[in-house]
Structure 1
């Protein structure tokens, strides 16, 4: 049930931006949404742990229930309809529209760039307990603070990206996304090769390259999402849903495959960073050829 709510909320948020904004303005809005979305899962373990410790295991669920009621009231009272009056209505499942969008190389290039960046973060999250707690010896509270700090870092970089889009443009930000994810992979592998065995379990050898690489997520998601959805003014909801599906399913699938490889945890993460960097590079190459356009779907 909560997963359905998350999917609906994401489609509403991203399609609402496409309905009202385009170009660099949309990229900055998507970057802001990205920062907000990433701070929540970073702080959730800390908040959930504190609530469960102070009360019992049911407390986090009661908190989510109350939060859901509050958000529902806010949506009913203050969220306006963003859909343009001339939007084409589609009866039933928009299968033909999905198929038409999936035939667009531009859309796929930017959607998979988002998937690669998210897959890198999911891989980091999946491997972090083993690397930081089991091998690194961090306590649950220390682990939660490390997650929270990384979430705030993503939010801070997202704020910087909003300014960078205005000053340097979206292609520059995609190039930075490629560079930071590549640099994170290089630093992670270099740490494995340079430092002695007794230092390999230190949390900084994992979290510092991760901090560099997750900056690539902040640089990539806003511009890539705006480029992917830009042509679909009349089908913002359909395109947003498909883009979100590719990002989530592609990122999760890539992370699952990488984590299943019979290699060390840090090497697995570095491989996912390289994949994310490669997809961001492809998106950057595509962005250099872009011109604003609207695509009508029959």
Structure 2
């Protein structure tokens, strides 16, 4: 896959994190503009998450029936129009509705970009491309809030959505000009009437499900960190709010670095091997984190070291788990990508909510959820490797 295609897919993959992180600094301004509080403004975020969950499952069968290019163009165009509607929203209710539609359009890039990689690459090449796309996933949480805050302070909250409009319009033009149809003509075009059957078959594919859940449950640990770290860093350990971004950015930098190292060593060791090793690194670091949180250290740095290792290891786990899950899906790659994304997002969102439920004024809830994610992810990884071994042995006999 050439560099231009990877850059376009990176831009498409950025729709999700950009549309979430970019407008967070605008919450107070939006609340003031509509005469409400920030708790009600958070409904716009909930609407976006709901749209992501529903939209991903819809795009998978559509991409398998009509190919990748047309649904992708429709989705990106929908995101562009919805972003414009957000910028000129006359009420909070309008903004909530527009955010839902924006998510329905934006998740096309998330789902179909994975299907395109699967169309063009084998398991090792897919893992390399996914690792390169992790660069976008790591940079977006660092840069988006800072750029969003700057736009809000200078031009107002509407500028955030106008910027998203311009970005998505440029991405749509790039897709139209330089991203050809990737689905091979020899692949059967699966009918939409069989969508539920495709998802049912994927749920029966225990190797696919195992890899998807291994990556998704590990990713859930990162969501637990995102949900719990503001309280732990700022409230519990007194880190100034303006310095929180530096700690967050340092962990994101570790994530990016490991993802790029992963891309370079995949030629020597396949994605399944690297996944099976990295997941144990994640678990050990998570258990150390839980132990330190349990003794209620008065200093922050003992927590930061194992936390950094946990987040950094995800730069190896997530792309390799995705590549292993998507390997061999071929004609149903769209549906597989959709279910993969939906499972990962749903589990991760549940982990973030669990941190809030367990809140006790310490760092233990965040560390506990991350550790539980590590234990379950390792269990899934070990089980899936055994299932894959049995499948390979059976295929060799045939």
Match of 1:186 in 2: 287
Q: Which moved more, 1:174-183 or 1:62-71?
A: 174-183
SS state at 1:166 partner: coil
Pair 1:90–1:208, CA change in 2 (3 A):
same
Pair 1:262–1:152, CA change in 2 (3 A):
closer
Match of 2:349 in 1: 252
Pair 1:262–1:133, CA change in 2 (3 A):
closer
Structure 2 counterpart of 1:74, from 174, 199, 211: 174
Task: For 1:166 and 1:287, locate their aligned partners in 2 and report how far apart those are by CA, in whole Å.
Answer: 20
Q: What is the TM-score of this pair, normalised by structure 2?
A: 0.67
Q: Which moved more, 1:50-59 or 1:24-33?
A: 50-59
SS state at 1:234 partner: helix
1:292 deviates by 6.8
* CA RMSD between the two structures: 2.4
How many residue pairs align between the two structures?
290
Could you tell me which runs of 5 or more consecutive residues in structure 1 were left unpaired when the two chains were aligned: none
Matched, 1:47 2:144: no
Point out the structure with the larger helix share. 2
1:285 deviates by 4.7
Match of 1:287 in 2: 385
1:97 deviates by 0.5
Pair 1:107–1:124, CA change in 2 (3 A):
same
Match of 1:156 in 2: 257
Match of 2:316 in 1: 219
Pair 1:26–1:75, CA change in 2 (3 A):
same
1:135-188 alpha-carbon deviations (Å, 9 max, x no partner): 233333322232233222211110011123222222332133222222322332
Task: For 1:9 and 1:224, locate their aligned partners in 2 and report how far apart those are by CA, in whole Å.
Answer: 19
Match of 1:230 in 2: 327
1:56-76 alpha-carbon deviations (Å, 9 max, x no partner): 222222221221111111111
Task: For 1:59 and 1:139, locate their aligned partners in 2 and report how far apart those are by CA, in whole Å.
Answer: 27
Q: Report if aligned partners of 2:227, 2:355 keep a CA contact under 8 Å in 1.
A: no
Structure 1 counterpart of 2:187, from 87, 98, 109: 87
Structure 1 counterpart of 2:364, from 260, 267, 270: 267
Which structure's relative contact order is higher, taking Cα pairs within 8 Å and 6+ residues apart? 1
1:77 deviates by 1.1
